Structure 1
């Protein structure tokens, strides 16, 4: 089976999400009853949107990476585990034995959960199944069992789908995305942890009254509160902190280039997301009609990459502030045992905070504090798994660069679910089986909580409709 699926998985990996997703969207649109022309146009438009988003994220990475390196050198940091970023992590995951099986496994798990009613999200973002493949590959490496790795990947998929269901109403309301959820392996677990953090922030005097949404900031600071001006100012601060003025001519050029690049990212990302949403709308409307006709009384969500949320002003502003904050946290935690130097994945912090921000109601201060706490804790996870991560990378054919001996990542290496599954794998068969049972229990508990929430919403709507008109 692996010999058959391996080349297919490798081919899909080579194509990338910007090519694979338009094909899948076109097929999905036809299944939903759209005409070929409309379905194909929607798929191509979504692909164009993803290319635009990736170009802007690439711009961020190309400008933030050198500033981060300069900042680390200026602080005299000597962290020996290199953050190779999500592109390398995805290639490592798809290149593993689990990765060869992950797409058919993911579809099977998704269909079973939908049919049984345990989850509502139909995840069409097959590319991001790589997150579950990486979890499975790590477990397989620790336990030396392909089957336990496959089981862990399947359970991880189920958990991410359940987390997406749980946060879907908040995501839909905040981002104005009806019938959409984010079953993204990076975003969904952080969103879950943001819920108790937000309750904690609500109990802290001062913080619970602070309105730090983009609208409030713009109202207070006028032009300098606009998103592009925030990008400009943050770029100047990051550049000054990173480059300093050892060589005034060269450093001032780098600082000003970084500033205008971050302003451009703040300005362009929402427009790229708008292009993606233009393609998504006919698919979303067709899905709503399809579900209402064939499954009356049931609710389904379309699972998408959280890239559709990264252009929102609070998300991108939080992410830019977290770039220097993450580096400072990494340095501060070095004496406590952190060995990871955040680099490549600094540009993908928007995906880490994408579901956290709506839970924090767009409050940038809360989002930065919450993001800093969770990313800081995640650095210890990334350090802990680094030897196994490197082992899986080499076994998948990943070539370490000169000077690299141990690698990890922030996006998935520091992820809360990575910690759970890696700890379970270290306990052997009982640990993996125990984690699987507890995870399935969590999926069921989330389903019960959602049913309770639905009943409360229905009762509230009924009570509202019975009130006499004025």
Structure 2
């Protein structure tokens, strides 16, 4: 048993070191071969996806390096005590894979996914194995709270069920808005926010005046012309963030830092969509092959390919919303400090696009709605991150993670502030029996989503028949 565990730990550590930019291309190439693609086609698709991910990560890293110091400057200038440091998703992933749950998460995730596919409780086949770390992190938190490895494993499995169901539920929005046929996002960061965005959008639709506000990128650019372009928005936000973060104590040095930040954010607005287009060039042939494979071998059944929501972060409304939310998030964290928030958003400010990736389609690309909705969910999430910080820090120490200098506790905006993290953490605090209750509720939720999907299919087929009959009559 020890040898088996050691092997699993070694595999998890290796995948963590490789990262998504290496792991996913290999899996995509293998998946392409299974779908019947020729070897050169499969290799090309995998490499393009890998290149796209490397480009996306480089740009997000650039954004994090530029935005983090400005955010720290704003907090210091206002004299607010935010002692829990946001170490970002790369550290969170390393911590998750380095935990005891991380050692078994990949075989566990594949097993749960296959069982749900075979029973019809999901349509999503999640090939984004590297991002299984999200499930491992939640499992590790539950294991730490309950002092039980097996309850942690159970929580990770239940988390997978919930995220797959949310991916199925949000798939129509994702496919229609982004133009991704047969794709879903079973991403631990993005998927949970459908549960908050959908009711908020229902409320927004019923606010007189506000429900008629057009604020998608096209409408904004039409109203403001060149000043509504994405790169101008990035530049202006960079200037404002830099001015408030760096000030002018050192006119020469601070002006350089401000202008560098402004041009860097303008570059992010231009380059990130282009990197996503490279990634999509590799993804589209795989998606087409998958559709043909399913239609031939499973007539009458429908499957989605589960992918990293990184494929959506370059969409103009997602990117614009995220940049506006960078300073808003810092201000929200400061405003909530007297109410108990201790988290200083830093590294994960650059990964806000993953938080809003599914929210934006639900808000129909409306940037104003997306910013308001994003600010609300992030504000609530900061309290979750504060509540889980002690256990998060304990898990990090157990995985060998060294705390940043001067930090007493750490957390993450991406997963530490996630609503599902809060749900599982809160349930575990009530006792181990609550994990069993969550398991029953998760399966019931997956069953309900499968019924919703069938009703959607029936409505779509009825609409297609009506269109066909109308065309025949003309």
TM range (shorter): over 0.9
* Residues in 1 aligned to 2:120 and 2:70: alpha-carbon distance in whole angstroms: 48
* Correspondences of 1:21-170 after superposition (within 5 Å): 21-170=24-173
* Correspondences of 1:14-25 after superposition (within 5 Å): 14-25=17-28
Q: Which moved more, 1:442-451 or 1:416-425?
A: 442-451
Residue in structure 1 matched with residue 267 of structure 2 by the alignment? 264
Secondary structure of 2:191's match?
helix
* Superposition CA RMSD, Å: 1.0
Moved over 6 A (4+): none
Aligned pairs, how many?
470
* Residues in 1 aligned to 2:461 and 2:25: alpha-carbon distance in whole angstroms: 36
Residue in structure 1 matched with residue 13 of structure 2 by the alignment? 10
* Residues in 1 aligned to 2:261 and 2:405: alpha-carbon distance in whole angstroms: 28
CA contact (8 A) 1:121 1:303 kept: yes
Instruction: Give 1:205 shift.
Output: 1.6
**Which residue of 421, 428, 437 corresponds with 2:431?**
428
Residue in structure 2 matched with residue 411 of structure 1 by the alignment? 414
**C-alpha offsets along residues 168-211 of structure 1, whole Å, 9 cap, x if unaligned?**
11111111111111110000001231011100111112211110
Instruction: Give 1:245 shift.
Output: 2.1
Secondary structure of 1:264's match?
helix
* Residues in 1 aligned to 2:122 and 2:97: alpha-carbon distance in whole angstroms: 25
Normalising by structure 2, we get a TM-score of 0.98
Instruction: Give 1:403 shift.
Output: 1.8
Q: Does 1:386 align with 2:383?
A: no
* Residues in 2 aligned to 1:173 and 1:215: alpha-carbon distance in whole angstroms: 17
Residue in structure 2 matched with residue 240 of structure 1 by the alignment? 243
**Which residue of 312, 324, 329 corresponds with 1:326?**
329
* Residues in 2 aligned to 1:310 and 1:26: alpha-carbon distance in whole angstroms: 23
**C-alpha offsets along residues 268-322 of structure 1, whole Å, 9 cap, x if unaligned?**
0111001001111111111011000000011111111000101011111111111
* Residues in 2 aligned to 1:34 and 1:192: alpha-carbon distance in whole angstroms: 37
* Residues in 2 aligned to 1:327 and 1:233: alpha-carbon distance in whole angstroms: 17
* Correspondences of 1:307-346 after superposition (within 5 Å): 307-346=310-349
Secondary structure of 2:100's match?
coil
CA contact (8 A) 1:167 1:192 kept: no
Secondary structure of 1:338's match?
coil
Instruction: Give 1:244 shift.
Output: 2.2
Residue in structure 1 matched with residue 465 of structure 2 by the alignment? 462
Residue in structure 2 matched with residue 306 of structure 1 by the alignment? 309
Instruction: Give 1:234 shift.
Output: 1.4
Instruction: Give 1:401 shift.
Output: 2.6
**C-alpha offsets along residues 77-96 of structure 1, whole Å, 9 cap, x if unaligned?**
11111111101100000000
Q: Does 1:214 align with 2:217?
A: yes
* Residues in 1 aligned to 2:207 and 2:79: alpha-carbon distance in whole angstroms: 35
Residue in structure 2 matched with residue 437 of structure 1 by the alignment? 440
Secondary structure of 1:122's match?
strand
Residue in structure 2 matched with residue 355 of structure 1 by the alignment? 358
Instruction: Give 1:464 shift.
Output: 2.1
CA contact (8 A) 1:2 1:97 kept: no
Q: Which moved more, 1:242-251 or 1:206-215?
A: 242-251
**C-alpha offsets along residues 333-373 of structure 1, whole Å, 9 cap, x if unaligned?**
11111111111110100100011001100000000000000
* Residues in 1 aligned to 2:409 and 2:69: alpha-carbon distance in whole angstroms: 21
* Residues in 2 aligned to 1:206 and 1:244: alpha-carbon distance in whole angstroms: 38
Secondary structure of 1:417's match?
helix
Residue in structure 1 matched with residue 295 of structure 2 by the alignment? 292
* Residues in 1 aligned to 2:336 and 2:189: alpha-carbon distance in whole angstroms: 22
Residue in structure 1 matched with residue 181 of structure 2 by the alignment? 178
* Residues in 2 aligned to 1:455 and 1:373: alpha-carbon distance in whole angstroms: 35
* Residues in 1 aligned to 2:229 and 2:341: alpha-carbon distance in whole angstroms: 36
* Residues in 2 aligned to 1:462 and 1:103: alpha-carbon distance in whole angstroms: 42
Secondary structure of 1:398's match?
coil
CA contact (8 A) 1:212 1:363 kept: yes
Q: Which moved more, 1:23-32 or 1:248-257?
A: 248-257
* Residues in 1 aligned to 2:10 and 2:157: alpha-carbon distance in whole angstroms: 21
CA contact (8 A) 1:186 1:352 kept: yes
Q: Which runs of 5+ in 1 are unaligned?
A: none
* Residues in 2 aligned to 1:61 and 1:445: alpha-carbon distance in whole angstroms: 39
Secondary structure of 2:266's match?
helix
* Residues in 1 aligned to 2:294 and 2:419: alpha-carbon distance in whole angstroms: 33
* Residues in 2 aligned to 1:75 and 1:364: alpha-carbon distance in whole angstroms: 28
* Residues in 2 aligned to 1:217 and 1:113: alpha-carbon distance in whole angstroms: 43
Normalising by structure 1, we get a TM-score of 0.98
* Residues in 1 aligned to 2:244 and 2:450: alpha-carbon distance in whole angstroms: 47
